[in-house]
Amino acid sequence: MINPGSNSDPFPAGLRVLVVDDDPTCLMILERMLMTCLYRVTKCNRAELALSLLRKNKHGFDIVISDVHMPDMDGFKLLEHVGLEMDLPVIMMSADDSKSVVLKGVTHGAVDYLIKPVRIEALKNIWQHVVRKKRNEWNVSEHSGGSIEDTGGDRDRQQPREDADNNSSSVNEGNWRSSSYRKRKEEEVDDQGDDKEDTSSLKKPRVVWSVELHQQFVAAVNQLGVDKAVPKKILEMMNLPGLTRENVASHLQKYRIYLRRLGGVSQHQGNMNHSFMNGQDPNFGPLSSLNGFDLQALAVAGQLPAQSLAQLQAAGLGRSSLIKPGMSSSPLVDQRSIFNFENPKIRFGDGHGQAINNGNKQMSLLHGVPTGMEPKQFAGSSYMRVQQQITGVRPGQNVQSSGLMLPVADHLPRGGPSMLPSLGQQQPMFSTSVSRRSDLTGAVRNSIPETNNRVLPATHSVFNNFPADLPQNNFPLASAPGISIPVSASYQEEVNSSDAKGGSSAATAGFGNPSYDIFNDFPQQQQHNSKLNDWDMRNIGLVHSHQDTAAASAGFSTSEAYSSSSMQRKRRETDATVVTAHGQNQQPPSRSLNHLNHVFMDGGSVRVKSERVAETVTCPPATTLFHEQYHQEDLMSALLKQEGIPSVDNEFDFDGYSIDNIPV
């Protein structure tokens, strides 16, 4: 009869639906109904399981239907994750029909909201959401493609929301209009593109926004300025083959929504990230610690929403550039940043490869080179990191951790600067934690969409782990056990390096990169472990975000060092928890993040500071951070060398400076 997924009418048939509900009765009924509609149904009674299914099978589903109230994870969180990571339409349903809940569904991006008892008629039409989404994406890509090179760019800017109005110019007016209302999301609507009326052509391969990818995205966005970022330019900046403008556009939409949801965290935070990155100030130290946790949390949580990661990335990237040499350690940082930039790139590539595969690729994100296009996942983590950085940066520092909306950053009360640095680096990781912590980092948040906040918490945790572990280079992934989070090995390395380097490496946010080399240096540090540990944590945070701000990280290390000792302990614990959590990466980030957040909180007054710092920090252009991250590794090593292991101690002295120094 009807061939599933064919080009013609039978299109709705064979639609692959994933339905998530903890109520077995409802699940069974829905399954039956959907099958009656000739859809291919997969049922799932736990949100985490659903997320992992989705992650494992990136293109295995067309649409997700989820209950709002579930014991293991809030349906809205799942919604966000799916939206960010997989970019699938999600329908919410509930027996609860109160307006506030329905509104929540809308604001979180659900394409529809069904009231239970669900009738089969309601399910018969869910395919429209799939088509709509695809059409929007097509339009976006179409537009971006081409023709409108410069006008298109302008158009993008102009049309923030109504595609229709602006785009009428071209070719597919008709098409465009129809899709325009769908694309209401302002941004990118791209306009004209070809008209892709036929649904069959909608089968575009879905881009998976991995953490790294998201980081890159965030970096690019931050660099352009969140408000001005248009898909075309972002795409150019990211410069990744295989990524289309439409992918970027739709991702940007989500990102913006996320940002908005975060309460308009000012870009300021984004800047902060930069500062972190750049400034390896001691400020970062604290941040890193926080970040570590966040990241971990994020890692645990599983894939951080891509956005968050991206944000972190962006934040991190942004930050790194921000970190100005002002900081005392800045000179070093500067140097490092330079290094970072150069190297990170390279490293990331490697790092990514590794990271990407891990759920926790947060580290790779840091590197900023999302080789994989799975930014989403990383994005979350990256966000976290960035945020962390931001927080660390604190006052002067601009928590550049761009992207890392280090929620944790707020924590960084202590030596802000120290924290910051770590935050910056933590971007990838932080994103997850960031998202969680969004409240905390306020500032950071800016760059990072909500998801990031969530991410951060995870990242923080991640970082925390590092410090403790870094010295040992044992970390499975990230030196810190906590870092098991996706932060990919590269992260660890960086973390280690940062620790070893006494904070200078903190800047090596570029964890993502296979900066193993940096870590190797650590062994020496490990002797200093006690100090380093603390630092590591911090540094890690900072490092991650700050790749650029190698100098900053150095700064952090010192500051962090001292603060970290206590934190360290805490962090360790949290890290441990986080680590395990992260191991799962796929786990619903929201949950783990929350957990991490808590963890962080305990351990980390530091975190709080970092977050705070984040606020003050402004994010430097994302791109810069990116580079910085890369460089950080180098810088860190350079710094470490310069400073020697003992530098760690010294760095603590910086404690105050980082923040001040870090130009926001």
Q: What is the dihedral of CA 320, 322, 324, 327, to 10 degrees?
A: -70
Give the one residue of 7, 120, 149, 239 binding another protein; rule: CB under 8 A: 120
Q: Write down the least CB distance from residue 217 to another protein, Å.
A: 37
Q: Which two tokens stand for residue 333?
A: 């940082």
Give the one residue of 22, 72, 197, 342 binding another protein; rule: CB under 8 A: 22
- Binding to another protein by CB under 8 A, coded x per residue (else -) over 75-94, reads -------------------x
> Binding of another protein at residue 122 (CB under 8 A)?
no
Q: Write down the least CB distance from residue 101 to another protein, Å.
A: 11
Contact range with another protein by CB under 8 A, out of 19-27, 222-230, 310-318, 449-457: 19-27
**Choice between 28 and 103, CB closer to another protein:** 28
> Are the CB atoms for 605 and 346 separated by under 8 Å?
no
Q: What is the C-alpha to C-alpha distance for residues 246 and 224, in angstroms, rounded to an integer?
A: 18
| Of 309, 316, 365, 401, the residue nearest 614 (C-alpha) | 401
Q: Write down the least CB distance from residue 29 to another protein, Å.
A: 5
- Binding to another protein by CB under 8 A, coded x per residue (else -) over 95-114, reads xx------------------
Contact range with another protein by CB under 8 A, out of 2-10, 32-40, 274-282, 344-352: 32-40
Q: What is the C-alpha to C-alpha distance for residues 155 and 165, in angstroms, rounded to an integer?
A: 10
> Binding of another protein at residue 46 (CB under 8 A)?
no
Q: What is the C-alpha to C-alpha distance for residues 461 and 494, in angstroms, rounded to an integer?
A: 15
Contact range with another protein by CB under 8 A, out of 28-36, 356-364, 588-596, 628-636: 28-36
Q: What is the C-alpha to C-alpha distance for residues 210 and 221, in angstroms, rounded to an integer?
A: 16
Residue 269: count of CB within 10 angstroms of its CB: 53
User: First and final CA of the chain: distance in angstroms?
Assistant: 64
CB half-sphere exposure, 36, CA atoms < 13 A: 13
Q: What does the radius of gyration of the chain's CA atoms come to, in whole angstroms?
A: 22
Q: What is the C-alpha to C-alpha distance for residues 307 and 314, in angstroms, rounded to an integer?
A: 10
- Residues in contact with another protein, counted by CB under 8 A, come to a total of 20
311-370 positions binding another protein, by CB under 8 A? none
Q: Is the dihedral of CA 396, 296, 548, 439 positive or negative?
A: negative
> Binding of another protein at residue 125 (CB under 8 A)?
no
Give the one residue of 20, 33, 90, 480 binding another protein; rule: CB under 8 A: 33
Backbone angles phi, psi at 17, to 5 degrees: -110, 140
Contact range with another protein by CB under 8 A, out of 18-26, 192-200, 305-313, 470-478: 18-26
Give the one residue of 3, 6, 24, 128 binding another protein; rule: CB under 8 A: 24
Backbone angles phi, psi at 84, to 5 degrees: -75, -40
**Choice between 105 and 514, CB closer to another protein:** 105
Q: Write down the least CB distance from residue 91 to another protein, Å.
A: 16
> Binding of another protein at residue 199 (CB under 8 A)?
no
> Binding of another protein at residue 117 (CB under 8 A)?
yes
Give the one residue of 18, 20, 26, 393 binding another protein; rule: CB under 8 A: 26
Q: Write down the least CB distance from residue 123 to another protein, Å.
A: 11
Backbone angles phi, psi at 66, to 5 degrees: -135, 145
**Choice between 26 and 332, CB closer to another protein:** 26
CB half-sphere exposure, 63, CA atoms < 13 A: 29
User: What residue type is 295 in one-letter code?
Assistant: L
- For the chain, how long is the longest CA-to-CA vector? 75
Q: Write down the least CB distance from residue 591 to another protein, Å.
A: 17
Q: Write down the least CB distance from residue 53 to another protein, Å.
A: 22
Q: Write down the least CB distance from residue 128 to another protein, Å.
A: 19
Q: Which two tokens stand for residue 96?
A: 């609860």
Q: Write down the least CB distance from residue 26 to another protein, Å.
A: 5
Q: What is the C-alpha to C-alpha distance for residues 477 and 158, in angstroms, rounded to an integer?
A: 44
Q: What is the C-alpha to C-alpha distance for residues 287 and 333, in angstroms, rounded to an integer?
A: 17
How many residues are present in the chain? 664
Q: Write down the least CB distance from residue 75 to another protein, Å.
A: 12
**Choice between 119 and 203, CB closer to another protein:** 119
> Binding of another protein at residue 118 (CB under 8 A)?
yes
Q: Write down the least CB distance from residue 20 to another protein, Å.
A: 13
117: preceding bond cis by omega (within 30 degrees): yes
Q: What is the C-alpha to C-alpha distance for residues 240 and 345, in angstroms, rounded to an integer?
A: 13
> Binding of another protein at residue 2 (CB under 8 A)?
no
Give the one residue of 8, 106, 119, 203 binding another protein; rule: CB under 8 A: 119
User: In the complex, which residues of this chain contact another protein (CB under 8 A)?
Assistant: 22-26, 28-29, 32-33, 36, 67, 69, 94-96, 116-120
